[in-house]
Amino acid sequence: MIFRTKGYRWRICNTSIRMLRLQELDIVESKEWLALIPEGKVLINTIYAYSYAVAQRDDLFARALVNCDYLMPDGASIVMACRWLKAKCQPKERIAGWDLFSFEMGRLERKSEKRKVKSEKCLKVMFMGSSEKVLMLIRERAAIDYPNLEVVTYSPPYKPDFSEEDSLAMIQAINDANPDLLWIGMTAPKQEKWTYQHWDKLNIHCHCGTIGAVFDFYAGTVKRAPLWWQQHSLEWLYRLLKEPRRMWRRYLIGNPLFLWNIMKEKMRSDDTN
């Protein structure tokens, strides 16, 4: 079934996606577009080489990416592949989860500051995911960086799959908090799939972003690549060098898989033209 979402993008529900085609995805084209995202309940995901490769064999993850309201190109590889494939969307630059986080947090802080001047209640941001240690560090830093925001956190159980009781508790925590901005950080593809599966049960009125590693970057438990590495599209290599045991599969297997799948998509496209 296909219908229009609030963000004016096509949504496909209860339909198997045999191959996620980068050529057909609606992808945000520049950071300037972030200011154009309308207010209200909006789901924002990111796509990068590894997530594209994983989505080829994980149908639920593919549907989660296709069905979100806005999809950010979090990787130079996605930007270049869109150009090579002559995709319908041509992102001009990488938009990392950190870029989305900084923009949304800054905008909410400015809004909340104006409310505070009028003696109105501060706006609220919620962080769902990660460990209590990381969340504590986030609360401490956010109190300095965003003094006009109320910060609420929730650490779900650390396990591969959540039980029904776990999910109900997470949903209840989000709905009770009723945040003005919601961040989900449980690593991909777990965070995207969970949010997609429970989206209709979240009674929120705000933007929701799945930003995984940003929780650790902001908390300072994982150091983000220096600017030079980012500017030269080598942030992935920096992370691999810093965390080889955790990242080797993502990059040493995921990157070749990404190239192979892009080549297959290109060949299929050429065959149909």
Question: 126-171 pLDDT, tens per residue?
Answer: 999 999 999 999 999 999 999 999 999 999 999 989 999 999 999 9
Domain definitions of the chain by residue range: 2-95+225-272, 98-219
Residue 273 pLDDT: 62
DSSP one-letter string for 1-52: -EEE-TTS-EEE-S---SS--GGG------GGGGGGSPSSSEEEEEE-HHHH
pLDDT mean across residues, the chain: 91
**CATH fold for the domain made of 98-219:** Rossmann fold (3.40.50)
Question: 50-70 pLDDT, tens per residue?
Answer: 999 999 999 999 999 999 999
Residue 268 pLDDT: 82
Q: What is the CA radius of gyration of the chain?
A: 19
Question: 191-207 pLDDT, tens per residue?
Answer: 999 999 999 999 999 99
| pLDDT confidence band for 233 (50 / 70 / 90) | confident
Percent of the chain with pLDDT over 90: 78
Question: 68-109 pLDDT, tens per residue?
Answer: 999 999 999 999 999 999 999 999 999 999 999 999 999 999
